[in-house]
Structure 1
Amino acid sequence: MRILIVEDEPSLGRQLKTTLEQNGYAVDLSVDGEDGHFMGSTEDYDAVILDLGLPEIDGLTVLGMWRKEGRKFPVLVLTARDSWSDKVAGLDGGADDYLAKPFQTEELIARLRALIRRASGNSSSELIAGDVRLDTRSGRVTLAGEPVKLTAQEYKLLSYLLHHKGKVVSRTELIEHIYDQDFDRDSNTIEVFVTRIRKKLGADVITTIRGLGYSLDEPSSAAASKA
């Protein structure tokens, strides 16, 4: 999942970026409202962590601009303003959740997971497709109740497809949402990881839609050729 952090406190921004990357997210960091607005307007993020007290353009204005532009990614407002009126202003301005500073990193990550799940239509922390289950809280993957060990990159790919179950996801979209920006887009890494996941979870778990990308759905509804 690709996350944008817009935070003008350098130490906090770097700390959040490092922590989220350690938790498997691809993260971009912006330190002011003007740059943050540009990044959110030109990239397709899975979620945004947005500070309100930003230089150049304040966070509420940035949020309002995104919503007017039709940007629908979930936004977690992160700010030192903790009065009820500020919370109302943030939520009415288009935010999906609100977290006041100081905060516990574990709570921020839990809220972020919930926002991403809800944005993709998943209310439970468990993502399920047939006998495959992925627990977003623990990172545990099981097949018919038995634990399956995936590498970090295999887990990212499977998680993204499960969050978008039933949809065709292009190779380009997968690269943009699970890898850093300097990833070699001409490599065949996605194809390699899809093959490895099929070996561990079953040949039918991921369907290749030739010329379009990949789809993960309930086994009975898969209807395309395998790579």
Structure 2
Amino acid sequence: MTAVLLAEDDEAIAAPLSRALGREGYDVTVEQTGPETLELALKGSFDLLILDLGLPGMDGLEVCRQLRGAGSDLAVLMLTARTDEVDFVVGLDAGADDYVGKPFRLAELMARVRALMRRRGGGDDSVVEVGDIRLEPAARRVMVGGAEIALANKEYELLKVLLDRAGEVVSRDVILQEVWGDADLRGSKTLDMHMSWLRRKIGDEGPVAERRIATVRGVGFRLNND
């Protein structure tokens, strides 16, 4: 059974969300403060953390940062009443896997939970190698030119989507759906920012004609496999 830690101090949100998760078959633990959430997340055997941004004691961003800083790969779905694009990007940069703005419809949030669990679940663990890039899903390890590099969760997922379709143009909508679970983000700069960070980390910031990851204007991106 998938274990979910729900960190939400508003009982009007926590109670119905907990019941909805329970009906879907999830084992739910509810916590109301930031410090206790971080402690439970680090020592508990949870599969998913649904994390409110405005927790007392320690906000959700700091909880997420400390969680990632401790090396935890726990899936994190962040909730917030602040839906400005800057807050959205900050949340993802802190290590969240997905981000949902309040107020939300339960059906929509449950769909995002299922999509996140599918993405983080037992997919294909086959090693993928394209040129000097090697991705090892079982260990969530990425090697470039024989050296291991550290990627944030979204950067890793973005690279995997491109590697799995090496040589093909992958549309922006497909990337947004597979990495963020929401093609409606097409109007934001989220994908372009993460692509810029990914290129920098894999050393792909040279002349445009020589880049591993090519931008196909108006369509998407292609990872060259030659």
Higher relative CO (Cα under 8 Å, sequence separation at least 6) belongs to: 1
SS in 1 for 2:67: helix
Q: Which residue of 2 aligns with 1:119?
A: 120
The gaps in structure 2 that reach 5 residues or longer are 125-226
Q: Classify the secondary structure of the residue corresponding to 2:77.
A: strand
Q: Give me the identity figure in percent.
A: 42
The residue identity in structure 2 corresponding to 1:38 is: E
State the TM-score, normalized to the length of structure 1: 0.53
1:64-105: CA deviation from partner (whole Å, max 9, x where unpaired): 010011110111111101000000000000001110000011
List 4+ stretches of structure 1 deviating above 6 A: none
- Which amino acid counterpart does residue 70 of structure 1 have in structure 2? G
Q: Which residue of 2 aligns with 1:29?
A: 30
Amino acid at match of 2:3: R
For 1:3 and 1:57, the matched residues in 2 are separated by 20
Q: Per-residue deviation at 1:106?
A: 0.9
Aligned partners of 1:113, 1:81: CA distance in 2, in Å?
23
Aligned 1:1-227 pairs, distance under 5 A: 1-122=2-123
Gaps of 5+ in 1: 124-227
Shift of 1:12: 0.9
Name the SS for the 2:19 alignment partner.
Answer: helix
Q: Secondary structure at the match of 1:56?
A: coil
Write the distance in 2 (CA, Å) between the matches of 1:115 and 1:23.
14
3-state secondary structure, aligned to 1:53: coil
1:6 aligned partner, one-letter code? A
Match of 2:181 in 1: none
Residue 121 (structure 1) shift: 4.3
Instruction: Indicate the RMSD between aligned Cα atoms, in angstroms.
Output: 1.2
TM-score, normalised with respect to structure 2: 0.53
> Within 1, Cα distance between the matches of 2:123 and 2:7?
26
Q: Answer yes or no: is the 8 Å Cα contact 1:73–1:119 preserved in 2.
A: no
